[in-house]
A and B are shown apart, each in its own frame.
Chain A
Amino acid sequence: MKFPDRSALGDMLGTGAIVGMGLFALFLLVAPSIIVLIISFDTRAFVSFPPQGFTFDWYLRVFEQRVLVEAMLNSLQVGITVTLLCIIMGVPTALVCVRGQFRGTTALSIFVLVPHMVPGIVLGVAVLFAAAAIGISPSIGLQSISITVFVLAVMVRTLMSRLQRMDPALEEAAANLGASPFQTLRTVTFPLLMPAILAGAVFTFIEGFDNISVAIFTHGFRDRPLPVELLALVQTTNTPLVAAVSGVQIVLAIIALIVVAASIGLEGVNE
């Protein structure tokens, strides 16, 4: 046999280059967030690098700004509403998509999954116009329901992938042991689905809290959610205040990450 010795060096260089590029990309993923975190503790009133001094002042300021706090509360409300709606509608829908005994389960799942593939901005514009046509003005409610429609797919997909991998014999066993369909759902399917529901809840909550593409067209004029407020703030101020808000959001993201890791595992995100 002939071994390609000649290319051994090239092989090492190639692998090295690819690994180097990969590490650079990974660095690119985290570096900005870390820089923002560092800046959020700066004592100076303008954004500059490297920072001088260390203070928690900007974080305190965030919670002193009524506009920001109200925006956060609005977003919190949207996030919770979206999550609850997604659970209430998503769990039964996922069950039907996977367990349905009628023609058209595939069509149904496509119908549910498609809105998430539509650009958020187009959905936002469409909902705004449709609401305007029948005389409904934008509000927290409109924003919540539009984002729900946008992200219901995420919940349904997470649940469907869990359901598809669940051993059908488990539910058959429950029935064989005397459980009625509803008892089976309550005592077997639902507990086993819990981690997926939790993970789905995290994603839908984050989307409800952070979504801008749909929210910017559907939010109430007086009830501005955090991302809309933040968008305006970023364009008008140059203080580390925004960095502090970002810091708060990064902490939120880390909590979300931990919940996801504990519920379906990080690998489960990709299913």
Chain B
Amino acid sequence: MVTISAPPDKPRRMDWLFDKLLSGQGIWPAVPAIIVLTVVAVIPFVMLLSLGVSEFSVSRGQIIDQTFSMRHVTSVLTDQLYWTTFQRSMSLALTTTAICLLLGYPVAYVFLIGGKWTRRMILILTIAPLLTSGIVRTYAWLVILGGRGVLNTAMMNIGLIDQPLRIVNTHWAVLIGMVQIHLPVMILPLIAVMSRHDRKLEEASANLGATRMGTLRNVVLPLSAPGIGTGAALVFTLSYTTFVVPQLLGGGNYLNAATMIYEQVVYSLEWSKASVMSMLLMSSCLVVLVGIALVTNHFTGWTRGRQG
């Protein structure tokens, strides 16, 4: 009879190898990912940086004759066009973030006070768009805001206007599209905070004499500061660096940093300028993100544990 209390036999050869890999709980299983990330992300970034400070030519899709030069950095930094483009990108992204917060926070509040089914509905309505292509969602706005689109037709039918308004290909169309497309990204982190929210806090607040609005301002809002920070950071990054929305709803007249990089890489083949712009895009984005993090940090002192 088999002695049951006996430890198991030596594992098979393959298992033994896997055991060795796993049992040390060392870094080995992560090595493939590390290699791929290094080759496909780290090295390309270093090269992007090097191309920005180089003189080179592109021939049949290949880079040749690369030599060090600060010419493109200085030319980008001194050209007024680039400054205006970045300013436009920045103000568009900041406005989008602000409006998303303004629209998204009430959704999160409805989530907070809502029952099980309201909560589920909000989750479905927020997650579903994230699983849909950005182009499809932008296209919907072409349909709505177009010359013979839903909005113009509706407004003409009720006699508000005689002539279709020109909305597509304006700043407004881009802004509307940006807000709607990035709204879910703002709502999700807010909802995450709200679902961790202890309802007893509101009862306590009400019991202490606060009105609903008072509770919102003094209890719910401060507690959701981390969610606001996360949401704002995500929305800002995405809307600052997207080219789909400006490309489609701005109709090529509306140039932001991302569309400019796209054109430089794909059409005008100014790869050095594109490198410089990419680096600028990333670093300016980082600056704003650090700013958002600092502000959030200031309002979330309560999340940090006792010091010492």
Partners in one complex: yes
Instruction: State the A residues within 8 Å of B (CB).
Output: 1-4, 7-8, 10-11, 14-15, 18-26, 28-33, 35-36, 39, 46-50, 85, 88-90, 92-93, 95-97, 99-102, 104, 108, 111-112, 115, 117-123, 125-133, 135, 137-138, 145-146, 148-149, 152, 178, 180-183, 185, 202, 206, 209-210, 212-213, 216-217, 226-227, 230-231, 234-235, 242-243, 245-246, 249-250, 252-254, 256-257, 260, 266-267, 269-271
Q: A125-B265, A234-B142, A253-B131 in contact; A22/B110 too (CB < 8 A)?
A: yes
Assess whether B44 is in contact with A257, with CB atoms less than 8 Å apart: no
In the complex, whether B148 has a CB less than 8 A from a CB of chain A is yes
Assess whether B33 is in contact with A212, with CB atoms less than 8 Å apart: no
Contacts of B150 in A (CB 8 A): 35, 49
With both beta carbons as reference points, the residue of chain A lying nearest to B66 in the complex is identified as A133
Assess whether A129 is in contact with B48, with CB atoms less than 8 Å apart: yes
Interface residues of B in 134-187 (CB under 8 A from A): 134-144, 146, 148-150, 153-154, 180, 183-184, 187
Contact residue among A47, A148, A243 (Cβ-Cβ distance under 8 Å from B146):
A47
Assess whether B33 is in contact with A90, with CB atoms less than 8 Å apart: yes
Contacts of A209 in B (CB 8 A): 133
Nearest-Cβ distance from residue B49 to partner chain A, whole angstroms: 9
Contacts of A36 in B (CB 8 A): 136, 139-140, 143
Contacts of A104 in B (CB 8 A): 27
How many Å lie between the Cα of A1 and that of B207 in the bound state?
Answer: 11
Residues of B in contact, count (CB < 8 Å): 107
With both beta carbons as reference points, the residue of chain B lying nearest to A21 in the complex is identified as B106
- Majority-rule SS of A interface residues: helix
Contact residue among A1, A121, A138 (Cβ-Cβ distance under 8 Å from B262):
A121
24 sampled A-B residue pairs with Cβ under 8 A:
A11-B214, A22-B110, A35-B143, A36-B143, A49-B150, A88-B32, A112-B30, A115-B41, A119-B241, A119-B282, A123-B41, A129-B275, A148-B40, A149-B37, A206-B131, A210-B135, A217-B265, A227-B134, A231-B135, A231-B247, A253-B131, A254-B128, A269-B123, A270-B195
How many Å lie between the Cα of A255 and that of B8 in the bound state?
Answer: 44
How many Å lie between the Cα of A157 and that of B22 in the bound state?
Answer: 20
Assess whether B271 is in contact with A129, with CB atoms less than 8 Å apart: yes
Instruction: State the B residues within 8 Å of A (CB).
Output: 7-8, 11, 15, 18-19, 22-30, 32-34, 36-37, 40-41, 43-45, 47-48, 51, 58, 61-63, 66, 102-104, 106-110, 113, 120-129, 131-144, 146, 148-150, 153-154, 180, 183-184, 187-189, 191-192, 195, 209, 211-214, 216, 237, 240-244, 247-248, 258, 261-262, 265-266, 271, 274-275, 278, 281-282, 285
